[in-house]
Amino acid sequence: MKENEIHTIVGSDVKLTGTIKDTNDIVVHGNIEGEVLSEQNVVVEEHAKVKGPVTAQAVSVSGEIEGTVKAFDKLEIHPSGQVKGNIQTKDLIIHSGARFIGKSDMVSDGGRVDAEDAGPAIEEGEEEQSTEQNSNDDESVVVEVDEES
Amino acid sequence: MYYYDFEQPHTNVDRKVNDKVRMHLTGFGIAGEFCVSSPARSAEELVDMGLRKGVGTVVAVGSENHINRVVNTLKGLERGLHRDIVLGVIPTDKESSLRERLRLQNIQEACEALKYRRFTTVDVGYIEGASYFLTTAEIHTSRPTVISIKADRWESEAKITDLTIFSDLTFSFFNSQKSKGLMDKWVTWLTNSRSVEDKSVSLFRARIIRVSGEAILPVTVEGTVVAKTPVVAYKMAKALKLIVKRDRFTPMDEDKNKESE
């Protein structure tokens, strides 16, 4: 994260509902119910909670995400992190102690996020469909992890 | 011709600063019409008089409060006049955020910038039905108060003591009673040798925001109460032509197409 670059920060005492998008980084310390979309990085800090889809170039999770995560470059789930939902990324790092419940779709070409042209929040059903399509691709790897079981 | 609207001097120091500004302006050969606001003629009246005379450039000389009053009057009158007025500023406060934003080291540099009349279009904040502002609009409460913020495509509730809205509608809010004290920050800085992030501070950008609270809260622009909650604030994108320093770009104003007359 570059210094002095204005980015979005959701404070620890904040409860936010709706779509939040930025061309720069989004850092979440509080609670969000809705879509989070960034052209750069999304950082979900410890004790933070996101209920809804998250889309960014890179996503770092130390808190909790309940929803689809699309990280075009990298998704990192830290020891305190928890993701409940399908993920799609090029580079996946899950640290020991982290929790991930859902399908992962490893894509070879990450693509780019365009926060300016972002439409309405992605429906869960639509996301499932695209995951299945990619999973038929020979190059893609589908991993199902359920650490709860 | 430049039309200079000086803030009323209250102390000898203020008078000396004004004299210094006049001296620099004369030295640069851009001495136009000098007006000093007073209880008899407010800053707003002076701007009105200047615009009626047909001046194309108004220069506000004084504190940020004075500069915002000039901006507010200028933007209010501009619509009726159907013409763009160029604004020059000479912030006399050493701690002025405008000075920092325009990268002006001192009064002399501010005067020199006027000489070249290189201007850029900047965003102006607008509190609906109340005031335009070039610096910040603020809400401050001594006790943490629950406020509701509705921005472009989201809404939020938070318990805060301070909310600051910048002219480009970047806004931040936090609960100062939950924030770490200065001593804690120093200790952490000394032990970790790195900056401390305060997790209770929120920072957003929007085009329009509506702020309402469980209590009625005053909204101030540089110490002057301009409205009370609920308020709606807009970003008036590239709404003001502002003279900037030669070969320097303002960090908050992205317009790279500098124009000059």
Q: Is the pLDDT of residue B182 over 70?
A: no
Which of chain B's residues have a Cβ under 8 Å away from the Cβ of A48?
Answer: none
- As a whole-number percent, the residues of chain B with pLDDT over 90 amount to 34
Q: How many domains does chain A have?
A: 1
Burial class (CB in 10 A: 0-12, 13-18, 19+), A59: buried
Return the minimum-mean-pLDDT range out of A58-67, A101-110, B79-88.
B79-88
Of B86-90, B184-188, B241-245, minimum mean pLDDT range: B184-188
Contact B203 A13 (CB under 8 A): no
Q: Is residue B126 part of a domain?
A: no
Q: Is A11 close to B154, i.e. CB distance below 8 A?
A: no
CATH number where B6 lies: 3.40.50.10330
Mutation for A interface: B156, B159, B165, most A CBs within 10 A: B156
Is the per-residue pLDDT at A51 higher than 80?
yes
Is residue A16 less than 8 Å (CB to CB) from chain B? yes
Residues of chain A in contact with residue B203, where contact means CB-CB under 8 angstroms, are 6-9
Which of B85, B116, B147 is the C-terminal boundary of a domain? B116
Bond into B230 cis (ω within 30): yes
Strand A99-106 relative to strand A26-28, pairing: unpaired
Structural domain boundaries, residue A37: 8-146
pLDDT per residue as tens digits for the range B21-66: 999 999 999 888 999 999 999 999 998 888 888 888 999 999 999 9
The residue among A5, A16, A44, A62 with the most chain B CBs within 10 A of its CB, best to mutate, is A16
Residues in chain B whose beta carbon is closer than 8 A to a beta carbon of chain A? 153-160, 170, 172-175, 178, 199-205, 251
Note the pLDDT tens digit of each residue in B100-121.
888 888 889 899 888 888 888 8
Does residue B141 sit in the same domain as residue B96?
Answer: no
Of A6, A11, A17, the CB nearest to B154: A17
Give the separation between CA A53 and CA B75, rounded to whole angstroms.
Answer: 41
Domain range enclosing B197: 136-236
The angle subtended at Cα B88 by Cα B133 and Cα B67, nearest 5°, is 35
User: What mean pLDDT, rounded, does chain B reach?
Assistant: 83
